[in-house]
Structure 1
Amino acid sequence: MRNQGSLRSTLHQRGMRMTPQRQLVLDAVRELGHATPEQVCKRVQGTAATVNITTVYRSLDLLEQLGLVRHTHLGHGAPTYSADEHEHVHLVCHHCGAIDEVPCELLDGLADLLAEQRGFALDASHLGLSGTCRNCRENPTAV
């Protein structure tokens, strides 16, 4: 995990300055694991009440450009952000909304096939697969 000094030096190398808001947003993403911008904003506002959602979106965009966070679309709503070292494929249940994680390597065969047949390089770390979880399949009336 990268620390505050690393974020500061990365920003300075690119001619940008370190702000408390940027650090708070990065800390919130790391603490929450998977979080929408609204969830990040709520966490940040627990420490700095004046930070608004626009600042959070701008900070998330910058942090993603720097390679410190990444986003995944897990459904029809807002993207979900996670820290850069948090790489896996997300399995999202249509019925109960549960999110499970599997290693990206699970899709190596598909990635090889796409590269061979289409010249396409799959980035499975940004991937959310939709379906039905085991619990909902085994207990369809529970949902």
Structure 2
Amino acid sequence: MRALEALKEKGIKITKARIAIYEILTKNESSVTVDFLYDECRRLGLNLNISTVYRTLEIFEEKKFVEKFYLGEGRYSFAIKKNHHVHKLECSLCHKEIEVSCPMQHIGELLKTQTGFTLTEHKLDLKGICEECKHKDKE
């Protein structure tokens, strides 16, 4: 069973609720809310409290198993962490490049919540001035 392997690999104690939450998260293309997870667990016949869902998500987040997306107005959604995608940030003066984590999954979740629009691809060019060049400019 994939859920058991995934949870064991992350060092997460195995419970019926954690297995169910993992499976619900992996079956959904986009992020889901705590209420959605709670309702789905109840629909599957699990007798649990919503606090169990919150605690499970906290553990998953601590173990870097899920990503948490702020949807505004104190609401969050969660998704299984996908492959780490990065972009390069290039200094406009010296052309030094650094890698930064891609913010687009978070932006995609916000867009989906606010507009119903699902991103299928993106391009992101990042340019700026690095710390060293900023200091040289002031001298």
Give me the TM-score of the superposition, normalised by structure 1. Answer: 0.60
What is the CA deviation profile of residues 2-37 of structure 1, one whole-angstrom value per residue up to 9, with x for unaligned ones?
6421312322xxxx5211111111111122332110
Task: Name whichever structure is richer in helix by fraction.
Answer: 1
5+ residue gaps, structure 1: 118-143
Give the superposition deviation at 1:113: 2.9
Paired amino acid for 1:69: V
- Cα distance in 1 for partners of 2:19, 2:119 equals 26
Which residue does 1:97 correspond to in 2?
115
Identical positions, percent: 19
What is the CA deviation profile of residues 33-79 of structure 1, one whole-angstrom value per residue up to 9, with x for unaligned ones?
32110001111111233122100000011111112111111232520
Residue of 33, 36, 40 corresponding to 2:37: 40
What is the CA deviation profile of residues 68-126 of structure 1, one whole-angstrom value per residue up to 9, with x for unaligned ones?
111111232520111111772415279x63243265x73341xx538x35xxxxxxxxx
Q: Contact (CA 8 Å) 2:66, 2:79: kept in 1 or not?
A: yes
Which residue does 2:18 correspond to in 1?
22
Which residue does 1:4 correspond to in 2?
4
Whether 1:113 and 2:113 are equivalent positions in the alignment is: no
Task: Name whichever structure is richer in strand by fraction.
Answer: 2
Which residue does 1:130 correspond to in 2?
none
- Measured on the aligned residues, the alpha-carbon RMSD in Å equals 2.8
Residue of 55, 58, 83 corresponding to 2:55: 58
Q: Contact (CA 8 Å) 1:26, 1:63: kept in 2 or not?
A: no
Which residue does 1:121 correspond to in 2?
none
Give me the TM-score of the superposition, normalised by structure 2. Answer: 0.62
Paired amino acid for 1:75: G
